Amino acid sequence: MRERIQFYWKRIREGRLKEMISQTIWIYAYVRKYWLSILIYTGIGLVGTGTSLVTSFLSKDLVDIVTQHRASELVKTFVMYVVFTMVNIVLSQLLDYISAMICIRVDNEIKADIFEKMLLTRLEPLMSYHTGDLLTRWSSDASNISNGVLNWVPNLVINFSKFLSALAVVLYYDPLFALLAIAGMPVSLIMSKTLLSRMQSRNKESAALSARMMGFNQETFSNIQTIKAFDLIPLYVRTLRQYQKDFWNLKKKYEKLGIVISVFMSFVGLAVSYSCYGLGVYRVWTGAISYGTMTLFLSMSGTLTGTLNSLISMVPSAIGITTSAGRLIDILGMPREDYSEHDYVEKFYRRNQDVGLCLTIRNMSYAYYNGNQIFENTEFSARPHEIVALVGPSGEGKTTLLRIILALLEPQEGCLEICAEGRENDKVKYSPSIRQLFSYVPQGNTMFSGTIAENMRNVKPEASDEEIMECLKVACAWEFIEKLPDGINSRIGERGGGFSEGQAQRLSIARALMKKSPILLMDEATSALDVETERRILKNIMKDEYPRTCIVTTHRPSVLTICGKVYAIRDRQCHVLGREQIEEMINA
């Protein structure tokens, strides 16, 4: 016992108790808005406890009436017994309904809030988590909390009231019977300690393994084309079976312990029940109690044992819920993006949309969280009505620079500014709020599942069909869209399914143009197009009168002749290339 006390004292000093309290407070921040429903749930549970107690007394009276042949009281008592039994059934179903509604509402509330906060979390720390782990935390952990939230205060109050009321009844009639009924309590407590000491580690192992399996499944289905192309299907099937085997072994290890404890507790319960039954028979035999009172004792004995086990089971349940809460808090504790300047940036754009915007980077240095230095004291600038190209070998930082420009990554040093063309003093503070000034065409196939029109209207919900067709024409996409039976209402599969890579790129460019932002970023957005189509698209983009600033990354020197400025990224710097250097790249 001393060692057990020292163990729990050590955990408290390590901060586990404080951690669980903070996690509980976090959970009830979501639950408190449903306090009235929870109060009603608790109230109905307490009423149910009372009606169950009355039903037990009526059962006792009914047995005594039958054995003592008191026919005049039989019908009345039987009717009352049936009525209270039906009331218990209704209250039980009502509790289940309220519980389900509360769980669904809490689950929706937590998931919606966490979904939004995950999207608002800064990109770089979020990238340290596998997407499978994020999905597991968002889905499984949130559901674990919502499903178990009523196992705390409401059910604690309900079960504790059941236990006390049953104990009071038994003590009133026969203290010795009460001692026998709770004789299994010390054994239950000891067994629960054994189970408790292993519960937290089991939850963490299980959650970690589930996250790895979720990540594996997500990556598999996202990259099924690559898996098929490399003939990796047998490897991936073996990997899945290994994950399943690991999960089975983990489950088996803890189920064995659960079975042993469950069997042992069942034997203890049987011993207590038979002892209570034997004492009841003896008291009836000696005439100390009636048959009805013995029935009441046995009923109360079952209630005591059942509620005690329910109370004890709340401890591992609480650990499971707080473990899930801790995993979510880890994600939500990461630094958030600041959108507080959103309204100011919007007003800034409105008063300067006629002249266009300039982007300037001065003395910028950036390194990834693993220490990989990408830029050091870098200078860069771009102005309206010109295409600025970024060239350089793969891995030198072209995409990273675009992410910095989009405020997805935050440089450790330097100054980034956006100001109005010819109005250098009218500028905005660089923050995630400036993203409303950008349109972005990332690398790869980034179209969403749905129709072409739905993809276009994602960035401009009020866009007319004519506006959509005009953007498709500028992006040289209308030439194949108009041949489709459903035109702009043709469906796009996941990751651009149903269209070639080049067609999907042109659709992505059209979507970016639909937003009609003052700054357009294109990251290898024309890599799947032929040179002629690429040049045509870029000329279409820049020939309109809209004062757009366009920044592109490319591996193709052939399009550099239509660019107003070309930066070569090398040695952690952005170097402006002269005409001779550009000609050398084109002719190389």
pLDDT reported for residue 204? 65
Sign for the CA dihedral angle at 158, 159, 164, 170 comes to positive
- Whether residues 247 and 384 share a domain: the answer is no
- Whether residues 183 and 265 share a domain: the answer is yes
- Whether residues 157 and 231 share a domain: the answer is yes
Q: Which two tokens stand for residue 455?
A: 């993809």
Instruction: Give the number of other CB atoms < 10 A from CB of residue 249.
Output: 10
- Whether residues 128 and 29 share a domain: the answer is yes
Domain enclosing residue 28, as ranges = 2-332
In a domain, 386, yes or no: yes
In angstroms, rounded to a whole number, what is the distance separating the alpha carbons of residues 397 and 366?
A: 10
The residue type at 419: C
Rounded to the nearest 10 degrees, what angle do helices 16-31 and 291-332 cross at? 90
Q: Which residues contact 311 (CB under 8 A, 6 or more apart)?
A: 156, 159, 160, 163
At 315-340, the pLDDT tens digits run 667 777 887 888 888 888 888 888 88
In a domain, 311, yes or no: yes
pLDDT reported for residue 362? 92
- Whether residues 380 and 523 share a domain: the answer is yes
Indicate whether 3 pLDDT > 60: no
At 451-489, the pLDDT tens digits run 999 989 988 889 899 999 999 999 999 989 999 999 999
The three-state secondary structure class of 135 is: helix
pLDDT reported for residue 8? 43
Q: What is the mean pLDDT of residues 417-425?
A: 87
Residue 420 forms beta bridges with which residues? Answer: 357, 423
At 546-572, the pLDDT tens digits run 888 999 988 777 778 778 899 988 888
Lowest mean pLDDT among 9-13, 104-108, 134-138, 359-363: 9-13
Lowest mean pLDDT among 81-85, 220-224, 261-265, 372-376: 261-265
Tell me the CATH number at 317.
1.20.1560.10
pLDDT reported for residue 382? 92
In angstroms, rounded to a whole number, what is the distance separating the alpha carbons of residues 105 and 94?
A: 17
In a domain, 492, yes or no: yes
The three-state secondary structure class of 396 is: coil
Indicate whether 189 pLDDT > 60: no
The three-state secondary structure class of 354 is: coil
- Whether residues 372 and 254 share a domain: the answer is no
Q: What is the mean pLDDT of residues 6-28?
A: 62
In angstroms, rounded to a whole number, what is the distance separating the alpha carbons of residues 1 and 9?
A: 12
Q: What is the mean pLDDT of residues 142-168?
A: 79
Q: What is the mean pLDDT of residues 388-411?
A: 87
At 280-295, the pLDDT tens digits run 777 778 777 777 777 8
φ, ψ at 254 (rounded to 5°): -85, -25
In a domain, 337, yes or no: no
Tell me the CATH number at 376.
3.40.50.300
In angstroms, rounded to a whole number, what is the distance separating the alpha carbons of residues 31 and 102?
A: 9
- Whether residues 253 and 385 share a domain: the answer is no
- Whether residues 357 and 328 share a domain: the answer is no
pLDDT-derived band at 57 (thresholds 50, 70, 90) equals confident
In angstroms, rounded to a whole number, what is the distance separating the alpha carbons of residues 333 and 409?
A: 18
Number of domains making up the chain: 2
Q: In the listed set 311, 332, 353, which residue is the last one of a domain according to the structure? A: 332
Q: Which residue has the higher pLDDT, 305 or 419?
A: 419
pLDDT-derived band at 1 (thresholds 50, 70, 90) equals very low
| 8 A C-beta contact, residue 547 and residue 519 | no
φ, ψ at 396 (rounded to 5°): -85, -15
